Amino acid sequence: MKLLTQEIANQLPALRTTENTPLSEKKAVCKFFTPDSSWTWYAVEGQPEGDEFVFFGLVDGLEKEWGYFYLSELKAARGPMGLPIERDLHFNGEIPAA
Per-residue pLDDT tens digits for 54-90? 999 999 999 999 999 999 999 999 999 999 999 999 9
Among 4-13, 41-50, 87-96, name the one with the lowest average pLDDT: 87-96
CB 31 within 8 A of CB 94: no
User: What's the whole-number mean pLDDT along residues 41-57?
Assistant: 97
Q: Region 7-28: what's the mean pLDDT?
A: 95
Give residue limits of the domains in the chain. Answer: 6-13+26-87
Give the helix/strand (H/E) hosting 47: strand 40-49
Q: Rounded to an integer, what distance in angstroms lies between the CA atom of residue 98 and that of residue 93?
A: 15
Torsion sign, CA atoms 36, 38, 44, 48: negative
Distance, CA of 71 to CA of 9 (rounded, Å): 11
What pLDDT is stored for residue 96 in this prediction?
84
pLDDT at residue 98 is higher than 70? no
pLDDT at 52: 97
| H-helix segments, 3-60 | 6-11
